[in-house]
Structure 1
Amino acid sequence: MTRPTRARSAETAARIRAAALRLIARDGYAAVSMRQIAGEVGLQVGALYNHVADKQGLLVVLMRDHMEALLAALDAADLPDEPVDALDAFVRFHIRYHAARPDEVFIAYMELRNLTPENFAEIEAMRRAYEDRLEGLLARGAAAGVFALRDARVATMAIIAMLTGVTTWFRPEGRLKLAEVEEIYVDMARKAAGVR
């Protein structure tokens, strides 16, 4: 028997991640079996383990992929230096990025409870790195007197929770276009930050 080529192996691994993403987002981590994932991809269960160690490892890969892509995209967004402009840009970035990836967002936020402590610590550190970007710009704005904040960390958590919630209700075919949602949320984030 010939061994699969590296390209074919990478393609299969990507198909496994895509299938796991769909199934876990739809049914939840606890309800999805490795047998279901294998069936979705057209593999025998044993062959699945050539690409992933176990279900926990697959969950971590999905979350890590999401967080690495999110952090890279935020870096590429190159937020402005001025705090109010930076807040507006962060809000728009967060909504656009997350609205395009509702399954990844659902898993990254709702399935944290299913991670082992070590895996949780890894993903939580990545989440904290993302949150730190917003917290830093809020703290700079407060220090410059353009934001009236009692606590930049609390404001960060409140704003991110508000922005991420968009993925639970926004539908492209709905009443509002994404650009309109962004404008509404920019206004709410400015109020939450106490823009003077």
Structure 2
Amino acid sequence: MARKQGSHAETTGPKVREAALHLFARHGFAAVSMRQIAKEVGVQAGALYLYTPDKQTLLFDLMQGHMEHLLASWQVPEGTPAAQLEGFCRHHIRYHLDRPELVFIAYMELRNLESENFAVIEGLRKRYEDQLEGILRAGQASGAFAVADTKIATLAIIAMLTGVNTWYREGGRLARSDVEGIYWDMVRKSVSA
């Protein structure tokens, strides 16, 4: 099939991923067809296969890219476990508020991943969770934190922080910095010795 006049591989590939992201977030992975993605990009459906082998690969690539970028963007700062935990909380909120569609897909569309792809994404998620759990363990060892189970605390903190995306709206009554401060205060109190 001929490429649509005016389309270019270096621009069309990213447009395919962006269209898939918007459509998956708006309608859900199962409800979106390759034909809809092609229409959104402005190419014929057959042309999509120049950029991706299938819809599953598009979903996996979006999730994997999100998790790899999240992992690369976070470095545990020097300092006390409390300072590290505050850094993690603030970073998590900032990062995720800028990417609401990716966050939605990363959590809501896991069920649609094939088993091999699911295992890869779960591995990346575990690497991220392990960084927070390491901070909690260090804080527990130093006596700064008191948590009954660091794994459960890790999952609870991440769920709470990620939940900001469900209600926060830019231009609302709270600025991002206010939200970060409030959430940090709640996390701090939840782990305090």
Provide the TM-score with structure 2 as the length reference. 0.95
C-alpha distance in 2, partners of 1:10/1:63?
21
> AA paired with 1:166?
V
Shift of 1:143: 0.7
> AA paired with 1:8?
H
Q: Name the counterpart of 1:148.
A: 146
C-alpha distance in 1, partners of 2:94/2:134?
21
C-alpha distance in 1, partners of 2:79/2:71?
18
1:25 and 1:106 in contact (8 A); partners too: yes
> AA paired with 2:10?
A
Change (3 A) 1:131 1:16: same
1:159 and 1:192 in contact (8 A); partners too: no
Shift of 1:192: 1.9
Q: Name the counterpart of 2:36.
A: 36
5 Å-filtered alignment, 1:1-196, equals 8-75=8-75, 78-193=76-191, 195-196=192-193
Shift of 1:81: 3.3
> AA paired with 2:136?
L
2:3 and 2:47 in contact (8 A); partners too: no
Shift of 1:80: 2.8
Identity percentage of aligned residues = 57
Shift of 1:2: 8.9
Unaligned runs of 5+ in 1: none
Q: Across the two proteins, how many residue pairs are aligned to each other? A: 191
Pairwise CA RMSD: 1.7
1:141 and 1:147 in contact (8 A); partners too: yes
C-alpha distance in 2, partners of 1:170/1:80?
30
Provide the TM-score with structure 1 as the length reference. 0.93
Instruction: Map Cα deviations across residues 107-135 of structure 1 (whole Å, 9 max, x no partner).
Output: 01110000011100000100110111000
> AA paired with 2:127?
A
1:80 and 1:89 in contact (8 A); partners too: no
Change (3 A) 1:2 1:54: closer
